[in-house]
Amino acid sequence: MLLKFENINLSLEKIRTVSPSATCVLFLHGFTGSGSEWNELANKIDGRFNIATIDFIGHGKSDSPADEKFYKPAQIISQLNFIINHLTKEKIILAGYSMGGRAALSFAVKYPHKICGLILESSTTGISSENLRIERIEGDKKLSEFILNNSTESFADYWLNLDLFSSQKKLPAEKLKEIKKTKLNNNRTGLANMLKGFSTGKMEPLFDQVKYIPAKTLLISGELDEKFTMINSQIVNNFQYANHIIIKNAGHNSHLEQPSLYLTSVNNFLKKF
């Protein structure tokens, strides 16, 4: 379904509703992804929970406005808050991958009373160094220009061939085609603006703020993704209630590369609720 927020349409899909009062797990995709990537996993999640997905602005069925103001961190949090308020009056569990994890974490810091659980896959608390933040902003700006000056297919090929996703090349050819097809459904304006507006460099560093989140938290990283495994091993102790699980034989996208191990980790975590 499409929800109207400040003259833009945002896509929300209710994948499973056990009961109106059941706790909902809302899955948040990464950059260039969409809510549909969670469909195969959704109904294998603990049956006590309602399940929903969204398409972030600039992705999937959501709008891709030209105005960059809609993609700034404060706006992304406001959009997510609007969707959650529409979805449930109860506390929610947010499960975010990569960019979606950053959005989930930013939301939890601002609205800790609305969260009862966090599942953060290949995510980060931001960049603490001002120089590195500036460097990241500039890098994302250049990449956004590449997106606008080339075809969606050219960018999809470039993105999928980044070292960060090298471990995905072991997936079956049909699965790789499906992944690329999903990325081709995105809008170049939306992707470019999201990259500029919600760059990790523009995210408020939250390393010292996550200790105020009272929710149970699960950090997930792939064994083959050394960078994010190191990041998560460093930040796990900053949370009040957090555990870090490393998925064997997986890179940046554990839920795609090792879905069974990802599901086991998530369902074991959900037993705590």
Query: Domain-by-domain residue ranges, the chain?
Result: 2-270
Say what the pLDDT of residue 251 is.
96
Say what the pLDDT of residue 250 is.
97
Distance CA 25, CA 35 (A): 13
Helix (H, G, I), strand (E, B) or coil at 142: helix
Q: Are strands 8-16 and 24-28 parallel, antiparallel or unpaired?
A: unpaired
Mean pLDDT calculated for residue range 159-176? 91
At 212, the pLDDT band (50, 70, 90 cuts) reads very high
Closest CA to 103 of 197, 223, 22, 227: 197
Say what the pLDDT of residue 43 is.
86
Mean pLDDT calculated for residue range 52-58? 97
Mean pLDDT calculated for residue range 145-165? 92
Q: What is the mean pLDDT of the chain?
A: 95
**Range 101-106, long-range pairs (CB < 8 A, 24+ positions):** 101/28, 101/30, 102/126, 102/198, 102/200, 102/203, 103/28, 103/56, 103/76, 103/77, 103/198, 104/28, 105/206, 105/210, 106/73, 106/76, 106/77, 106/203, 106/204, 106/206
Inform me whether the pLDDT recorded for 199 exceeds 90: yes
Inform me whether the pLDDT recorded for 115 exceeds 90: yes
Do 23 and 215 touch, CB atoms closer than 8 A? no
Inform me whether the pLDDT recorded for 182 exceeds 90: no
In degrees and rounded to multiples of 5, residue 249 shows phi and psi of 55, 35
Do 63 and 5 touch, CB atoms closer than 8 A? no
Distance CA 156, CA 177 (A): 11
Mean pLDDT calculated for residue range 217-226? 97
Inform me whether the pLDDT recorded for 236 exceeds 90: yes
CATH topology of domain 2-270: Rossmann fold (3.40.50)
Say what the pLDDT of residue 59 is.
96
Q: Please name the residues in contact with 51: beta carbons below 8 A apart, sequence gap of 6 or more.
A: 14, 15, 16, 24, 25, 27, 42, 43, 45
Do 199 and 137 touch, CB atoms closer than 8 A? yes
